[in-house]
Every structure is written in structure tokens, then in C-alpha cells.
Amino acid sequence: MKLRKKIKSRFAILASIAFLAMLACLFRISANNAHPRLVSVAKTSPSQQSADSNVAVSDFDSSATPHWIQVPTSDLQAIPAPHTATAIQLCQALGPAAPCPIMGVDCAMSGPYGCCDCGHHICGWKNMGPIDWQAYAQGEYVGHWREQHVPIYRLRVDDQLECVYRLTRDVQTEPYKLNVGDVIQVESFTDSNLNRELVVQPDGTVTLRLLGEVRAANMTVLELREKLDQSYSKFYKLPSITVTPIKVNTKLDDLRATVDNRAGVGGQGRSAKVTPQGTIDLPGLNNIPAQGLTLDELKMEIDLRYKEQLGIEGVEVTPILTQRAPRYVYVFGEVNTPGRYSMEGPTTLMQAISLAGSWKIGANLREIAIFRRGDDWRLMATVVHMQSTMLMNRQPCPCGEIWLDDSDIVMVPKTPILMVDDLVNLYFTRGLYAVLPFSTFFDFSRGSGVVVGN
């Protein structure tokens, strides 16, 4: 009994010592982060000076510079331009909202004030210098237009479209051919009894006196007149037949009636959604390929199919993207709220972890794994190191801050010490100590307290 008490007391002492050492380590780290080392901007060489620099040195107020930053006026002309074509414009006298220059690091530049050296060494805050940080001052949240997300957007499954139909009223280069439902007027100057108004029947024929049923569909007005004139020449020396179209483009009228929304949302259009097989369906057309096409390419495909497959001309269809397919990122592991999160815009790794409520104590930020499915659904994976940025705040431009794709899976693992703690809790606290005849024992996973057992 005394031996068990000695063992428990020693375990308690060791656990207390380890806990105090951990607190001391964390206190030292927080103290270092609270008082960063003050740095001075290094002078640039004369070779880096450019007469075309757009930096307005005369407007720079050196008195507004913090006392720990020494930026000689002669060095401001030597500030290299960023990777874009425009030179750095310092925050000079934008008004009371932005009176001072901002010192920072540009992750797209190399050299002074830059940190574009991924893979060589850790780039720290020592490279800080004056950068273009708040050119719009209080309008920063709305002033920057930025570059487009993608140069060309290509449709994908579950994209929703609105196809708007419009009559072109363009002159057709080819003669019009009669369709089923068209109305024509047949007249004869020789015998007025032959005059009548006819409708092209569903079988493509019209019924005439003395001739009976005559084929009329898919024929031009001139071809039909010549055919009737030749047929009536058996009964009249000079039939003098005239064919006059009364109502044409009945296929186009039927299509317009199908897509007519004037009694509802207005206009003439039809909504469509890209199916899992990558196609859309429209009135008269099925299985139109859409996945991987741009909107302009899809428009050309629809117009061509209406003309060649249905013989409908004089109409153009304009597809409009009304809603993009949902895009998600999955975050699990040592985060506070694991789950699936919607990607409304460009999303990076740190943004995804922020959506998941940040990381838990004991998360292994050195080996964050990202799993991805390629365009052909093959599985790819990578591991990034983010501890220097997310925990220590030592690396302003981490190489692991990567852009995430749709359906990416972010896994934040546990640290080895946390895995050992889980093993102790599983095999000893819940396993061994639960069956041994001890009345009390120390709970290592919780770090305190004596658990009373039966």
C-alpha cells in the first residue's frame, strides 16, 4: 500500500515538473513574438537606381517614419518595381486616414523588401521595407480590381445556365424551303377555279384540283411553282401558276412559343443545368455537349445544331451562366470545427483552416496534408510546413500557403506527444487501470486529479 502511494506521488511530481517546463517554454515564445527585433532598411546599390522610377521622393515625409526605421531619402529612388509593370507608390500624404508609410514584405519580389526565395531558406521579417500597402487608404476594401480568377471559364457539371433566344432577322443566303405548317396561296390566270389557300400537311404535301396530293415540304417556292406549272400543262396550254407564301417560319414560331416566358419572368429563354454526363437539354435538342466548353463555344454549338438538325434559321441562342456549381473544401483533424466548407472565391490553406475554427493545441503544423483529385480523378497529395508562420510568426511568406482546389481535403495531424498521450489514455487509463485492483490512480491524459475506481 505504501509502495503504491510512493509511485503515485512520484508520478504526480513528474507530471507537475513537465507542466511547468511547458509553461515556461510557451512564455518565452510569446515574449519573443511580443517584442520583435527592430530592423533597418538596407541601402540599395547604385546599380539598382532607375531614372524611370515612379516613386515621388519629394512627397515622402521622413518625419513620419518610425524612429527605429532608417530610410535615407536617396535610397527611396532605388526601390525596385514589383513584378507588375507599375512601380511602387508609397503612401505619401493620402490624408489623415493614411499619413505614414507601411513597412512590410512583398512575397512576389526578390531582393530588398522581397521574399521570393521558397525552397532556399526561411525568409523572415528582416527583409521588411516600404511597400505599396494602402494606395487607396480608407478605400482599400473596394479600390483594388485585382486580376481575374481565371482567363477563360469553362463549364462544369452542375453549372446552371439561362439560354436566351433572340430573332436575328438576318437575310438568309439560301432560298427558303417550305416546312410543315406553312401556308401558301396557289393561283392561276388561266382558270380561277384552281385558286386556293393551302397548308402544308404533316406528311409534307398539299392537295390541289386535278392533281391531288403534291409534295411541297423541303421545296423552295420557285421549285414548287415550276413543278405545278409542269403538272397543269397536261390540262392547260398555259397554266400560268403562281405560288405566294402567306405564312412561313412555322418551326421558328413553334420554338418561340416553347421558350416564351413573357407571362412569367419575361423574355424568351429556357434554363438548363449541366448534367453529370456533361450535357444540357434544350427544346428540340438533347445531349448538347457543354462540359469543358466556354460560353461562346456553347453558343456556336447550339446555333449550329438548330440550323443543321432542325432546319431552324433566324434565331440565335445566348447561354448565360447564372450560378456556378458548388465548390467545397474538406478540413478535418486537429481543428476546432471540422467539416465541409463552401469555396465562394479563391481560397488558400490558411483561409480553409480559419473556416474550420483554427487549429487545436497539439496540432502538427509541420506536416499538414492536402489530398486532391486530378482532372482524370487520380489521387494526388502533398505535405506542407506552416508552423513557422501559423504558430511562431517567423516566416511572412510561407511556401505552404497554397491555393486550394474544389473537393480538396485538408488534414491537420496530431503531434507525436499528443499521439503518445492518446496511447496512454487508451491502453492505461481506459485499459490497464480499469481492470487492475487499484482504488485510485493518476489520469495522465487530463494531467490532474485522482480517479476513484471500484
Measured in whole angstroms, the distance separating CA 261 from the mean position of its chain's CA atoms is 31
Q: Is the predicted pLDDT of residue 28 greater than 90, yes or no?
A: no
pLDDT at 322: 96
Q: Is the predicted pLDDT of residue 383 greater than 80, yes or no?
A: yes
pLDDT at 103: 86
C-alpha cell at 115: 521574399
Candidate from 129-143, 355-369, 432-446 with smallest mean pLDDT: 432-446
- Give dist(CA 208, CA 80) in Å, integer: 87
Long-range contacts of 104-108 (CB under 8 A, 24+ apart): 104/128, 104/129, 104/131, 104/133, 104/396, 105/129, 105/131, 105/396, 105/397, 106/82, 106/131, 107/396, 107/397, 108/82, 108/83
Q: pLDDT tier at 121 (50, 70, 90 boundaries)? A: low
The per-residue pLDDT for range 174-198, each reduced to its tens digit, is 899 999 999 999 999 988 899 999 9
C-alpha cell at 173: 443566303
| Average pLDDT over every residue of 317-332 | 96
Report the SS3 class of residue 106.
strand
For residue 395, with 0-12 CB atoms within 10 Å meaning exposed, 13-18 middle and 19 or more buried, which class applies?
buried
Fold of 160-172+252-323: wza like fold (3.30.1950)
% of the chain exceeding 90 in pLDDT: 46
Q: Is the predicted pLDDT of residue 431 greater than 80, yes or no?
A: no
pLDDT at 131: 83
CA separation, residue 349 to residues 119, 147, 276, 414 (Å)? 18, 20, 29, 17
pLDDT at 406: 95
Terminal CA-CA length for the chain: 16
| Average pLDDT over every residue of 425-451 | 60
Q: pLDDT tier at 226 (50, 70, 90 boundaries)? A: very high
pLDDT at 425: 80
From the list 150, 161, 158, 156, the residue with the least C-alpha distance to 299 is 161
Q: Is the predicted pLDDT of residue 293 greater than 70, yes or no?
A: yes
183-248 maps to CATH 3.30.1950.10: yes
CA separation, residue 189 to residues 86, 185, 197, 227, 243 (Å)? 80, 13, 15, 16, 12
The structural architecture, per CATH, of the domain 328-414 is Roll (3.10)
Q: Is the predicted pLDDT of residue 421 greater than 50, yes or no?
A: yes
What's the angle, vertex CA 105, arms to CA 29 and CA 404, rounded to 5?
A: 85
Q: pLDDT tier at 93 (50, 70, 90 boundaries)? A: very low
Candidate from 65-69, 198-202, 281-285, 407-411 with smallest mean pLDDT: 65-69
Task: Give the mean pLDDT of the chain.
Answer: 79
385-394 in b/e burial notation, b at 16+ Cβ within 10 A? bbbbbbeeeb
Q: Is the predicted pLDDT of residue 395 greater than 90, yes or no?
A: no
C-alpha cell at 120: 532556399
Q: Is the predicted pLDDT of residue 265 greater than 90, yes or no?
A: no
- Give dist(CA 221, CA 216) in Å, integer: 9
160-172+252-323 and 328-414 have identical folds: no
Sequential DSSP letters for 267-314: SBEEEEE--TTSEEEETTEEEEE-TT--HHHHHHHHHHHHHHTS---S
Q: pLDDT tier at 68 (50, 70, 90 boundaries)? A: very low
| Average pLDDT over every residue of 5-23 | 65
What does pTM read for this prediction?
0.67
Q: Is the predicted pLDDT of residue 410 greater than 70, yes or no?
A: yes
Q: What is the CA radius of gyration of the chain?
A: 39
- Give dist(CA 149, CA 135) in Å, integer: 22
Candidate from 52-61, 235-244, 319-328, 424-433 with smallest mean pLDDT: 52-61
The per-residue pLDDT for range 194-210, each reduced to its tens digit, is 999 999 999 999 999 89
Going by their DSSP bridges, the two strands 408-412 and 328-333 should be labelled as parallel
State the amino acid at position 446 in one-letter form: R
Domain boundaries, the chain: 36-141, 160-172+252-323, 183-248, 328-414
Q: Is the predicted pLDDT of residue 439 greater than 60, yes or no?
A: no
Candidate from 38-42, 166-170, 275-279, 399-403 with smallest mean pLDDT: 38-42
| Average pLDDT over every residue of 58-68 | 40
